[in-house]
């Protein structure tokens, strides 16, 4: 059975085949070709099967998001499949899943590799989205350090003294710093490499979203998350489908004048922290 006879399809590339990323892709990929990338072949096959049974055209490639050449090969694969219309990066490790060194390597430097690589293959009018975290609003990086980050190469990020000394204190600090750096990487790319491709790139910082991987965090720090949820304006967790709706807007034509920004989507958690209604402890 041939479900779709169209050959000249736009490409949607997703790095990190988890539930949030696949929800975003499902929202925007009808009639397009999907390229899924993940370090886990098991995750890839599970996600690909779901898309195929839903009538989507999907291709997979194993990718190590911490390896520059692996990420470049993934971007090249996307370009070889057609006009790269959308790129979404959800790859990352949470504080209770990894040590500070790995979080910096994956969530910070790895994100930079992906932004750089797709900045070389995006089609004119295309758009990218990095899924960051509300944690990026939970740290205060000095202005001079943010300037150094904005003017650093991706490879040089881990050598910035603030990253080596402050971010490496513990996994929680590494995560918050990495997510703030994500915002700055998106800003830099929007003004430079992605601008040259006439493509846009933004990020979304989700709050507490219920996903299978989130249960690792709930198991390790459930009391803290419960307090965070209870103190927020929404008084609930968010869903991957809600993130997908906002993502579809930022990636789509109605957001054509939006690039280089982060959308905080946290149900009011950061507002609660900033007003003193919730006392944050980063560990």
Q: For residue 217, what pLDDT band results from cuts at 50, 70 and 90?
A: confident
Specify the pLDDT at position 205. 98
Specify the pLDDT at position 124. 98
pLDDT of residue 99 exceeding 60, the answer is: yes
Among residues 56, 113, 137, 175, which one is catalytic?
175
Residue 218 lies in a domain: no
pLDDT of residue 223 exceeding 70, the answer is: yes
Q: Show the tokens assigned to 59.
A: 């291709």
CATH number reported for the structural domain that contains residue 70 in this entry = 3.40.50.720
Residue 4 lies in a domain: no
Specify the pLDDT at position 283. 54
Mean pLDDT of the region 135-149: 96
Model confidence pLDDT, tens digit, residues 18-74: 999 999 999 999 999 999 999 999 999 999 999 999 999 999 999 999 999 999 999
Residue 231 lies in a domain: no
Residue 235 CB burial class (10 angstroms; 0-12, 13-18, ≥19): exposed
Domain span at residue 120? 10-211+240-267
Residue 273 lies in a domain: no
In the sheet with 10-15, reading across from the earlier edge strand, the strands are 57-62, 33-38, 10-15, 83-89, 122-131, 200-206, 262-265
The three-class DSSP label of residue 83 is strand
What's the number of domains the chain is made of? 1
Beta pairing class for 33-38 and 57-62: parallel
Residue 216 lies in a domain: no
Among residues 86, 179, 195, 215, which one is catalytic?
179
Residue 170 lies in a domain: yes
Residue 233 lies in a domain: no
Specify the pLDDT at position 218. 74
pLDDT of residue 145 exceeding 60, the answer is: yes
C-alpha dist (Å) from residue 8 to 4, 81, 83? 11, 9, 8
206: which strand partners? 265
pLDDT of residue 216 exceeding 90, the answer is: no
Q: For residue 282, what pLDDT band results from cuts at 50, 70 and 90?
A: low
Residue 253 lies in a domain: yes
Query: Nearest to residue 133, comparing CAs of 173, 98, 104, 176?
Result: 176
Is 179 among the residues known to form the active site? yes
Is 72 among the residues known to form the active site? no
Compute how many other C-beta atoms are within 10 angstroms of the C-beta atom of residue 280. Answer: 17
Rounded to whole angstroms, the Cα distance separating 162 from 141 reads: 9
Mean pLDDT of the region 72-97: 96
């Amino acid at each position: 059975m041939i479900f779709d006879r169209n050959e000249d399809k736009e490409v949607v590339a997703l790095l990190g085949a988890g539930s949030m990323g696949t929800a975003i892709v499902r929202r925007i990929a009808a009639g397009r070709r999907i390229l899924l990338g993940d370090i886990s072949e098991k995750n890839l096959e599970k996600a690909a099967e779901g898309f195929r049974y839903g009538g989507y055209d999907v291709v997979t490639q194993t990718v190590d998001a911490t390896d520059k050449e692996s990420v470049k090969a993934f971007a090249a694969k996307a370009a070889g499949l057609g006009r790269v219309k959308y790129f979404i990066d959800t790859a990352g490790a949470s504080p209770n899943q990894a040590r500070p060194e790995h979080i910096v390597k994956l969530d910070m430097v790895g994100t930079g590799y992906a932004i750089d690589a797709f900045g070389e293959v995006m089609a004119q009018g295309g758009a990218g989205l990095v899924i960051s975290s509300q944690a990026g609003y939970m740290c205060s990086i000095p202005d001079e350090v943010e300037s150094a980050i904005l003017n650093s190469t991706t490879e040089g990020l881990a050598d910035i003294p603030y990253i080596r000394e402050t971010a490496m204190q513990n996994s929680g600090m590494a995560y918050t710093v990495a997510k703030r750096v994500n915002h700055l990487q998106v800003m830099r790319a929007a003004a430079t490499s992605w601008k040259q491709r006439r493509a846009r790139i933004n990020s979304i910082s989700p709050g507490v979203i219920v996903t299978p991987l989130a249960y690792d965090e709930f198991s390790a720090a459930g009391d803290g998350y419960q307090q965070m949820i209870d103190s927020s304006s929404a008084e609930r967790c968010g869903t991957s489908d809600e993130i997908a709706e906002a993502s579809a807007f930022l990636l789509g034509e109605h957001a054509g004048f939006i690039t280089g920004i982060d959308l905080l989507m946290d149900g009011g958690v950061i507002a609660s922290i900033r007003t003193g209604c919730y006392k944050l402890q980063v560990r």
